[in-house]
Amino acid sequence: MLNHSPFAIRHSQVTHALAPCHSPAFLKSRHATTMNRIDQRFADLRAAGRCGLIPFVTAGDPGAEATVPVMHALVEAGADLIELGVPFSDPMADGPTIQRSSERALARGVGLRKVLSMVAEFRRTDATTPVVLMGYLNPLEIFGYERFADAAHAAGVDGVLMVDSPVEEAGELTLLLARHGIEQIFLAAPTTADQRLAQVVERARGFLYYVSFAGITGADRIAMGDVTDKVAAIRAATRTPVAVGFGVKAPEQAAGIARFADAVVVGSALVEHLAPHAEPAAAAAAARAFLGPLRAAIDAARARSAA
């Protein structure tokens, strides 16, 4: 845990040595000439004193033709980054809402290739909003890591968060993505031990996704005081932005997180809100209606903190 020293997660504590080509310095050097869209967005947010808002939607749900319109609608409503879920048959970290959305998307024939084509379509009219693919390793392993890294870069993907890709085992994928300037995003949770958290913080690029409680997505158990302390300790040890998610359902929760985190992630509540609206225009309208109040609450919370 992080409750005994703000520097409990120093590099000297990392016991799993990194090979030179997987080292943080090497990975950072891959981005020396161009800034990833994620890094640029968080730099802009920091300069403006704003908290980021990161909505998650499952690609292909509530409808295959609705995904790209929903992505654009979320940006219009104030999204700073978008997490796009890659449908998978066994999403072990996800609750019933996202599990069902994956099932519906798979039933519509939406797999990794289709997800990448959706990102490419989104990029035709939005060249600035970062897109992070979130999912599980199995579809990438079938596709091939190197082939996936090439295809993700060509489509316009900025980050990849694989729930079952722990930092200790991510070397090959991290390196292949880094060659294209794509960030691999890692998770940390309240149960993450100091020694392992040291590795996560040291390797974190783009942003670090802090899970607000140990459990599945969509549950409602955020203990704001505990999360505040943990995120403060992490932020004291790294300049990488920290986004907090799992269990965010309402503007009030988003506002509370905005007071201490660099970004708020909302997923299950949005997916559930979109589910009845398979028609693209209706889905886009529902996305705007859901996200707008969260954006307003986050901005108001930051304004009060700055006053």
Half-sphere exposure of 268 (CA within 13 A, CB side): 18
SS3 of residue 158 by DSSP = coil
Sign of the torsion formed by the C-alpha atoms of 54, 55, 59 and 65: negative
Which residue among 39, 61, 83, 183 is the active-site one? 83
SS3 of residue 56 by DSSP = strand
Q: List b or e across 116-141, with b for residues whose CB sees 16 or more CB atoms inside 10 angstroms.
A: bebbeebbeeeeebbbbbbbbbebbe
| Closest to 133 in 3D by CA, of 123, 119, 147 | 119
Distance of CA 240 to the CA centre of its chain: 13
Is 226 a catalytic site residue? no
Half-sphere exposure of 73 (CA within 13 A, CB side): 22
Is 146 a catalytic site residue? no
Which residue among 80, 94, 183, 202 is the active-site one? 94
Q: How far apart are CA 276 and CA 268, in angstroms?
A: 14
Q: How far apart are CA 164 and CA 193, in angstroms?
A: 17
R_g of the chain, CA atoms, integer Å: 18
Q: How far apart are CA 109 and CA 233, in angstroms?
A: 43
Question: Which residues are designated catalytic?
Answer: 83, 94
